[in-house]
Structure 1
């Protein structure tokens, strides 16, 4: 392994701290006997500084250890797990700064209880391997946590969009056109835009665009629709206006080289969504919709069609606006994928604000509840042969009695042949939500008792069930067994 300077400094700092604590010395005490400053020693222990040779000799002498021991990169058994973690590079992969954590602080935590922390990290790694958690999945999970921590609303990006609109005289009350987006890229940022047939190359079949940085050429697939093209162009504008250098060059993404690319991809996407769906205009449209006492499905589709975006972009934008401007703090976003001719439905993307809501991804190949409107819209889209099938439902979860108002749209998957996907936003129903959504108390929205997965669901006589409730049955058997054991323990005590 090619040892980095940071790694060498961290190892030395750990060894110094271990040698000091073995002598029951405080930093103040070590500073006193070595005549080195406490702040200097503290920086060494945190891996920020590496002392010169004469200072290492002095420290080794005062701590009764050898010079060779101090400069060796080999750690004692109780610190060996930390060395493995450092060498693995996992700390470089985790976007610690995103969550306000310094690497040195995490090292300090690990150093104080190496065996326990190592066991914890090993457990996480084992779980990740068990569920085939890829590096990209890890990055995306980190991003999702970041979004959820901010209620998926980023004021700075919203302000950047307003600054852009002011600089380029974009009217937020009208829909920005593809011609205008293209003109900005060409005239302001020196792009050339070419449309080519990606499908002629099998490997490029799922891509919609490629950006060639050297010539500033944006290659667009001729197969994309108006909303996809608008989003790609808006995203390219975002990369330039936000001055993002570390970025992806394809849409959709193939791989992420580092977390910065993941984060910057999100920033550019957020900017694009906010540009295509102006905040104030959307708020006004939603207020009109929410004032209705008996809205029809077609009215929601008409609302979406007022913006040049896909249903997914529209629902994503709802997750920005509803928490911020409508004070809706408990909602979820789901994207489900279904291959035609199969009985499988997979959650490909999810977001939960403010807490983990009940419908969520399951990595155990269980069957999601077929009563979910997210699945029903896919089924009806196929049955009725509609390009965009919208429906809404009030779902009551059998285990908790929590109710969610769920909006869902099913469309062909633009990135996969013979696949459909549904995009859904669900809102936890509370007394305040009933006041905001006038139609909840009426009969315009169907109500349905639902579960999470068939394997864990206790709904009786469910005609839609895709699998027996095997996990629930096992849990009930275990509970009965435990109750019987307790009876025997009481009887023979």
Structure 2
């Protein structure tokens, strides 16, 4: 267990309260037996006070236990889940204040109803074990929630990025490139930038960059296979760490090395800063407004914007998700990234974010995503174009997806490209915009017949479109749900018949 003063006080309070309740003693009863005031015992049980030795001896005698057992950090079997929660360091490593949660209030809740809370925590732990939810995955989920709470827009980082650009007296319309950002790292922060030698360190082949911190002269090792655009982002993120003064950080691009939530949060802030200085808000907003106002779907205009801003399709789509809610009033949207190996019928959802609510599509384990999703069909199109030749361009498509069950419609814009560092691997990034009154006012090309409209669903296992040619699996989840509904109706019918016969 993480031994800190808050945990020690909480564990002691939980043990006192459990022993008191087991003996059906009220606070007043325990007060009379121990000689301690009711208010003081209440403070102890809430984890706010830790008594001195003489008072612990008095409590132990009143509760029929010994001193050593009472001060031990070991909790009873009923409270083991709370012990696991404290041992996980989540309460200390996760900055609960970011989510509007006061840690002392959370500890008080644990002390108020320890058995009920323990059962609830135990259920969550059991679910996490069954679904192999590691600490890293928990931190990633917490980070996504944090982003979604703020509509993925952070004014303070936007302002810091603009101040950084102003400090360097850059012309208003300049787009930052690899050379400029590299010089900033070298001249302003004393970096030495070298290529990552894969022959000496083949185990680092998949690592895009590695920062070796030295006070006077930090070293940044960059994978030689990266494009100029990718290097620009890495340099921008490194500047973000320095300019935002983020001390607790990741040193490689392999974010799974993160052993605390702060690592991931600071990596996100530095990455956001990089996007904000490369795709400058002041330049992006007028061009994005012009594009969305077009009366016809023109994917080449979108691809040109991505090239002009010296960024990747993924970074550009993600940057759009920053500004759409704040500056266009469109906050019902989501972002997805799928990976696929050409010729294989497996599509892995490797990144997602939802703003305003949980949209469809989203991650569903061990089921087949609807093969009508544009995110998947564009990968199949890319694989076909790559047959027999080295096609290295980005393709861009749009689709209006109407969900069978809910009738909700989304404008899907997807971009797909081959992964240069991984043979036969393709990746698609997609932005989904919920079509309601707000978004229909902003997007002018929705009526363009060039945009295909398709009926889609969540997964094959949940879909009632039995004649679907793209179906990959039987609707097993739907069938189970229908059986359950039929059973409920039958029971309700029998119960009403019984009631009617009794009344007669």
How far 1:275 moved relative to its partner?
0.8
Give the equivalent residue in structure 2 for 1:191: 191
Separation in structure 1 between the aligned mates of residue 125 and residue 36 of structure 2, nearest angstrom: 41
Deviation for aligned residue 1:329: 1.6
Counterpart residue number, 1:208? 208
Shift of 1:169: 1.9
Equivalence for 2:144 = 144
1:458–1:55 Cα change, 3 Å = same
When residues 274 and 76 of structure 1 are mapped into structure 2, their CA distance, relative to the original with a 3 A threshold, is: same
Deviation of 1:259 after TM superposition, in Å, equals 1.0
Distance in 1 separating the partners of 2:213 and 2:48: 37
**Cα drift, residue 5 of structure 1:** 4.3
1:24 and 1:324, CA in 2 relative to 1: closer, same or farther beyond 3 A? same
Question: Unpaired segments of 5 or more residues in structure 2?
Answer: none
Q: Which residue of 1 aligns with 2:271?
A: 269
Which residue of the partner structure matches residue 471 of structure 2?
465
**Paired residue for 1:306?**
308
Preserved CA contact (<8 Å) 2:404 2:456: yes
Task: Identify if the C-alpha distance between structure 1 residues 223 and 69 changes in structure 2 by more than 3 Å, giving closer, same or farther.
Answer: closer
**In the alignment, which of 238, 241, 245 is matched to residue 240 of structure 2?**
238
Cα displacement (A) at 1:410:
0.6
* Partner SS for 2:257: coil
Distance 1:371 1:115, change over 3 A: same
Whole-angstrom distance in 1 between the partners of 2:369 and 2:122: 30
The whole-number CA distance in structure 2 between the counterparts of 1:400 and 1:475 is: 16
Distance 2:130 2:15 in 1: 34
Q: Establish whether residue 374 from structure 1 lines up as the match of residue 375 from structure 2.
A: yes
Matched-pair contact (CA < 8 Å) for 2:46–2:108: yes
Kept in 1, the 8 Å contact 2:173–2:283? The answer is yes
Structure 2 SS opposite 1:420: strand
* 2:2–2:86 contact (8 Å) kept in structure 1: no
Change (3 A) 1:58 1:415: farther
Count how many residue pairs are aligned between Structure 1 and Structure 2.
489
Q: Is the 8 A contact 2:329 2:438 kept in 1?
A: no
- Kindly state the Cα deviation for residue 34 of structure 1 after the two structures are TM-superposed: 4.3
Equivalent-residue separation in structure 1 for 2:364 and 2:76 (angstroms)? 40
CA separation in 1, counterparts of 2:86 and 2:441?
Answer: 53
Alpha-carbon displacement from aligned partner over 1:317-337 (angstroms, at most 9, x marks no partner)? 111100110011210000111
CA distance in structure 2 between the aligned counterparts of 1:142 and 1:408, rounded to whole angstroms: 26
Contact kept? 2:35, 2:58, Cα under 8 Å: no
Listed as ranges, the matches of 1:33-52 within 5 Å are 34=36, 44-52=44-52
Is the 2:378–2:397 Cα contact (8 Å) retained in structure 1? yes
Secondary structure in 1 matching 2:416: strand
Contact kept, 8 Å, 2:79 with 2:118, in 1: the verdict is no
For 2:436, the equivalent position in structure 1 comes to 430
More displaced, 196-205 or 433-442? 196-205
Shift in Å at residue 20 of structure 1? 7.2
Establish whether residue 395 from structure 1 lines up as the match of residue 401 from structure 2. yes
User: 1:239 and 1:179 mapped to 2: Cα distance?
Assistant: 19
Return the TM-score normalized by structure 1: 0.90
Shift of 1:490: 4.3
Cα separation, 1, equivalents of 2:135 and 2:423? 26
The aligned residue for residue 483 of structure 2 is 477
Q: Mark the CA change 1:438 to 1:107 in structure 2 (over 3 Å): closer, same or farther.
A: same
Once the 2 structures are TM-superposed, how far is the Cα of residue 304 of structure 1 from its aligned partner? Answer: 1.4
Q: Which deviates more from structure 2 when the two are superposed, residues 106-115 or residues 210-219? A: 106-115
Give the structure-2-normalised TM-score.
Answer: 0.89
Structure 1 residues 12 and 196: alpha-carbon distance in aligned structure 2, compared to 1, 3 A threshold: closer
- Of residues 421, 424, 438, the one that matches 1:418 is 424
| Equivalent-residue separation in structure 1 for 2:107 and 2:96 (angstroms) | 12
Pick closer, same or farther for the CA change 1:486–1:206 going to 2, 3 Å. same
Moved more, 405-414 or 52-61: 52-61
1:182 aligned to 2:182? yes
Contact 1:333-1:350 at 8 Å conserved across structures: yes
Change (3 A) 1:128 1:285: same
The alpha carbon displacement at 1:419 in A equals 1.3
DSSP 3-state at the match of 2:27: coil
Farther off after superposition, 462-471 or 14-23: 14-23
Q: What CA deviation, in whole Å up to 9, does each residue of 1:165-192 have, x standing for no partner?
A: 1212233422012111011100100001
Change (3 A) 1:254 1:137: closer
Q: Is the contact between residue 2 and residue 89 of structure 2 (CA under 8 Å) also seen in structure 1?
A: no
Aligned ranges 1:119-158 → 2 under 5 Å: 119-158=119-158
Q: Which residue of 2 aligns with 1:103?
A: 103
Match of 2:357, SS state, is: coil
Partner of 2:362: 360
| 1:259-286, Cα deviation, whole Å (9 max, x unpaired) | 1101111011111111111112111001
Cα distance in 1 for partners of 2:87, 2:27 equals 29
**Cα distance in 2 for residues equivalent to 1:123 and 1:80:** 12
Pairwise CA RMSD: 2.8
Contact 2:81/2:122 (CA < 8 Å) preserved in 1?
A: no
Q: Aligned partners of 2:376 and 2:4: how far apart in 1?
A: 50
